[in-house]
């Protein structure tokens, strides 16, 4: 059985400041470890500032297009040049607010990998879809969009994050058992095409993760860490979550 290194990723969304960069960078130094990957996803203008503090950084989204006449968009190559290592693709807020389809998300995934960024593919169902027992259908379609475009092997240089839409920023959290069930489904789905890849794939849970629930979530066999929203803006909360992830190694 592969030993997957846990990861804690902080998504600042449209929050943050130079002051927060300094606070979080100093806090992260105290919990950095070879046993844990820590990544922060600040707004675009703060990528360089965090990277200069020796924090591993990513962008919250990426354009599917190369440089050109796309006002307001940011090219993946520039993000890479600024020192980013990762990018989120398909976060539910991008899907719901900005109308990104599964096909567009697959294009962003492809563009990110083309320039050498590691995409974190966000998947998850709405509350209505869960109540209609469509969770697995929705998540499978979101993953298949990438596999159909690039082949299952493309997932080797990626991370998947399961974020039930109904648990993002709502204070609701999937129970450890609910989250584990979907993570297990994702891993088994990918294993049907490539069992070795599935065993090595890092799958994160996101959705109102905090220092009180992270330990139980991360203890689940198929949950390899978390994609953290609001708690990533508070140094004490974020580092506590990192410590709980280290405790699973």
Annotated binding-site ranges for substrate: 11-13, 169, 208, 229-230
The active-site residue, picked from 91, 93, 100, 183, is 91
Nearest Cα to Cα of residue 12 among 20, 4, 1, 22: 20
For residue 224, give Cα distances in angstroms to 9, 106, 158, 230: 11, 23, 13, 19
CA-CA-CA-CA dihedral for 211, 94, 141, 9, to nearest 10: -30
* Annotation marks residue 91 as catalytic: yes
- Active site annotation includes 163: yes
Backbone phi, psi, residue 86, to 5°: -125, 165
Nearest of 95, 31, 1 to residue 10 by alpha carbon: 31
Is the CA virtual torsion 49, 53, 54, 58 positive or negative?
negative
Report the alpha-carbon distance of residue 33 to residue 30 in Å, rounded: 9
**Residue ranges of the binding site:** 11-13, 169, 208, 229-230
Q: Which of 64, 163, 183, 211 is catalytic?
A: 163
- CA distances 55 to 40, 52, 79, 188, 228, Å, are 7, 7, 15, 33, 16
- In angstroms, the CA 119 to CA 61 distance is 9
Catalytic residues: 91, 163
């Amino acid at each position: 059985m592969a030993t997957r290194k846990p990861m804690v990723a902080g998504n600042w969304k449209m929050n943050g400041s130079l002051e927060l960069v300094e606070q979080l960078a100093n806090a992260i130094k105290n919990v950095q470890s070879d046993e844990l990957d820590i990544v922060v996803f600040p707004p675009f203008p703060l990528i360089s500032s965090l990277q200069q503090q020796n924090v591993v950084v990513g962008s919250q989204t990426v354009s599917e297009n190369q440089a050109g006449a796309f006002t307001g968009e940011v090219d993946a190559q520039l993000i890479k040049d600024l020192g980013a290592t990762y990018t989120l693709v398909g976060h539910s807020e991008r899907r719901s607010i900005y109308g990104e389809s599964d096909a567009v998300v697959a294009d962003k995934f492809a563009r990110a990998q083309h320039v050498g960024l590691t995409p974190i593919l966000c998947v998850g169902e709405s509350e209505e879809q869960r109540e209609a027992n469509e969770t697995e259908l929705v998540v499978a379609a979101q993953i298949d969009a990438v596999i159909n475009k690039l082949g299952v092997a493309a997932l080797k240089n990626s991370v998947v994050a399961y974020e039930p839409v109904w648990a993002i920023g709502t204070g609701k959290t999937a129970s450890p058992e609910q989250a584990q069930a979907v993570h297990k489904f994702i891993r088994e789905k990918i294993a049907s095409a490539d069992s070795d890849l599935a065993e090595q794939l890092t799958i994160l849970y996101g959705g109102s993760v905090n220092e009180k629930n992270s330990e139980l979530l991360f203890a689940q066999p198929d949950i390899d860490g978390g994609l953290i929203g609001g708690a990533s803006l508070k140094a004490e909360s974020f580092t506590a979550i990192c410590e709980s992830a280290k405790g699973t190694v």
